[in-house]
C-alpha cells in the first residue's frame, strides 16, 4: 500500500469523524441556548473551543461570540478550515486521492455526503431548519460508516481508516473534557446545583451518551461518574479508554512481525497504559486537567509519528 494512500485514508476519516462530532457539539450548544438562555451566555465559546474553531473565530469575527455567527462558523463558513462544509469537501478530496483503496459503496457514500451537505449548507441555515440539517449531517456520516463496515476488507486499508477515526474521536472527547473539566471537579460551592446538572447533561449530550450513561449509572449525573464514563469506560464508544484501545488494536494489526521496530507502536502502547492504568480517583487526585492536557499532547505526538513511520509524505 502506498504511503500516500495510508495518509489519505487517515485524514479522510479524521475529517469525517470531526465533522460528525462538530454537528453533535452544535446540537448540544443549541439545546443549552434554548433551554437555559439567561445563564449560559458563554456556552458558544465553549462549543467553539471544543470544536477546535475558537481561535479562528476570534481571529475572524473578534471576541464577541454571537449565537448565529458561531453556528455559521462551525457549519458552513468557507474561512474556517474545520467548518462542516469544508471538512466534507476535504474528506471527499482525500477519498478521491485514495479512490482505489475504497469500495464503490464507501466512495459513493463520501461523495454523496459532500453533494448533500453542499446543497444543505449552500445558504444560511435558519434556526428552524437547524435540527434537520444537523440530523442530516449525522445520518450521512452513518452511511459512510455503514458502507465501510459492510464492504471493506479488514486489511491495512481498514486499519488506517480506523486509526484516523479513533485518533480524532479521542481528540474530540478529550477536548470536550478539557473545556469543561472544571464543572467535573469536586467543589463545595456548586455541587448538586441545577447549573451543574445542566453542564453535566451537556457534556453527555455532546458525545451522544445521555442514554448510555443513565443505563449504566442511573438517572443522577454526578461528576465523578461522568468522568469515569468518558475517560475509563471501555464499553462507551467515545471514551478515551475505548478509543486508545481501538488504536492499539489497529496498530497491532498493522504489525507484520518482519519490519523493523516502529516508534508509533511504542507511543500507542504508552498512551494506552497511561490512560487505562489508573482509577478515576487517582486521576482526580493527580489532577484532571493535567491528565487531559497530557493525553492531548501524547495523542498529537502519536499522530505525527504515524505519519513518519508509515511514510505518508516521504
Partner 1 sequence: MRFSVTSRLPAFPLADRMIDLKNNAQLFDEMWGHDSTLRDAYANFNNWLEVEEPARLRKKQTEAERLFRLSGITFNVYSKDDKEKETERLIPFDIIPRIISAREWSRLSTGIEQRVRAINAFLHDIYHRQEIVRSGRLPIELLTHNEAFLPKMIGVSPPGSVYTHIVGIDLIRTGPDEFFVLEDNARTPSGVSYMLENRATMLHMFPELFSQNRVQTVLNYPRQLYRSLAKCTPAQTDNQPTVAVLTPGTYNSAYYEHSFLADKMGVELVEGHDLRVVNGRVAMRTTRGYKAIDVLYRRVDDDFIDPLNFCSDSTLGVAGILDVYRAGGITIANAPGTGIADDKAIYSYMPEIIEFYTGEKPLLKNVPTWRCNEPESLSYVLENLADLVVKEVHGSGGYGMLIGPTSSKRELAHFRKKLKANPGKYIAQPMLSLSTVPTFTRAGLAPRHVDLRPFVLVSPRGVDITPGGLTRVALKKGSVVVNSSQGGGTKDTWVLED
User: Interface residues with partner 1 (CB under 8 A)?
Assistant: 1-6, 93, 96-97, 99-100, 104, 107-108, 111-112, 115, 156, 256, 259, 310-311, 314
**Cα–Cα distance measured from residue 268 to residue 250, given in angstroms and rounded to the nearest whole number:** 10
DSSP 268-307: HHHHHHHHHSS-HHHHHHH-HHHHHHHHHHHHHHHHHHHH
- 8 Å CB contact between 1 and 157: yes
Compute the distance between CA of residue 184 and CA of residue 193 in angstroms, rounded to an integer: 13
Closest approach of partner 1 to the CB of residue 136, in Å: 17
Minimum CB distance to partner 1, residue 264 (Å):
11
User: Please, are residues 240 and 271 in contact by the beta-carbon 8 Å criterion?
Assistant: no
In the complex, minimum distance from the CB of residue 231 to partner 1, in angstroms, rounded to a whole number: 31
Least distance to partner 1 from the beta carbon of 98, Å?
9
Nearer residue to partner 1 within complex by CB, 277 or 314: 314
Q: Which residues of 276-304 are buried (b: 16+ CB within 10 A; e: fewer)?
A: bebebeebbeeebeebbeebbebbeebbe
By beta-carbon proximity to partner 1, the closer residue of 99 and 138 is 99
Q: Which is nearer to partner 1, 211 or 313 (CB)?
A: 313
> Is the separation of the CB atoms in 173 and 165 below 8 Å?
no
* Rounded Cα gap, residues 12 and 143, in angstroms: 15
In the complex, what is the shortest distance from the CB of residue 32 to partner 1, in angstroms, rounded to a whole number? 38
φ, ψ at 78 (rounded to 5°): -70, -25
Residue closer to partner 1, measured from CB, 118 or 138? 118
Shortest Cβ 24–partner 1 spacing (Å) = 27
Cβ–Cβ under 8 Å, residues 302 and 247: yes
Q: CB nearer to partner 1: give 47 or 87.
A: 87
Query: Which of residues 4 and 222 has its CB atom nearest to partner 1 in the complex?
Result: 4
Amino acid at each position: 500500500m502506498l504511503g500516500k494512500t495510508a495518509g489519505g485514508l487517515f485524514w479522510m476519516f479524521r475529517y469525517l469523524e470531526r465533522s460528525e462530532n462538530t454537528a453533535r457539539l452544535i446540537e448540544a450548544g443549541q439545546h443549552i441556548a434554548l433551554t437555559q438562555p439567561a445563564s449560559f451566555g458563554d456556552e458558544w465559546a465553549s462549543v467553539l473551543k471544543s470544536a477546535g474553531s475558537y481561535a479562528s473565530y476570534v481571529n475572524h469575527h473578534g471576541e464577541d461570540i454571537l449565537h448565529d455567527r458561531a453556528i455559521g462558523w462551525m457549519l458552513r463558513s468557507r474561512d474556517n478550515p474545520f467548518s462542516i462544509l469544508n471538512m466534507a469537501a476535504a474528506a471527499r478530496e482525500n477519498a478521491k486521492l485514495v479512490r482505489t483503496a475504497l469500495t464503490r459503496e464507501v466512495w459513493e457514500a463520501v461523495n454523496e455526503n459532500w453533494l448533500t451537505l453542499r446543497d444543505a449548507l449552500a445558504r444560511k441555515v435558519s434556526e428552524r431548519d437547524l435540527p434537520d440539517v444537523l440530523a442530516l449531517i449525522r445520518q450521512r456520516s452513518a452511511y459512510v460508516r455503514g458502507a465501510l463496515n459492510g464492504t471493506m476488507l479488514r486489511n491495512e486499508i481498514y486499519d488506517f481508516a480506523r486509526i484516523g477515526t479513533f485518533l480524532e474521536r479521542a481528540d474530540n472527547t478529550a477536548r470536550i473534557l478539557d473545556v469543561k473539566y472544571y464543572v467535573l471537579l469536586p467543589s463545595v460551592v456548586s455541587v448538586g446545583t441545577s447549573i451543574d446538572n445542566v453542564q453535566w447533561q451537556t457534556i453527555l449530550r455532546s458525545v451522544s451518551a445521555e442514554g448510555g450513561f443513565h443505563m449504566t449509572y442511573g438517572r443522577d449525573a454526578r461528576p465523578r461518574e461522568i468522568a469515569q464514563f468518558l475517560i475509563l469506560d471501555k464499553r462507551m464508544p467515545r471514551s478515551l479508554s475505548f478509543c486508545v484501545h481501538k488504536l492499539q488494536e489497529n496498530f497491532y494489526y498493522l504489525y507484520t512481525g518482519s519490519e523493523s521496530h516502529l516508534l508509533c507502536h511504542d507511543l500507542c502502547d504508552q498512551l494506552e497504559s497511561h490512560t487505562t492504568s489508573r482509577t478515576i480517583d487517582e486521576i482526580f487526585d493527580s489532577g484532571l486537567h493535567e491528565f487531559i492536557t497530557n493525553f492531548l499532547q501524547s495523542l498529537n505526538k502519536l499522530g505525527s509519528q504515524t505519519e513518519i513511520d508509515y511514510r505518508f509524505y516521504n
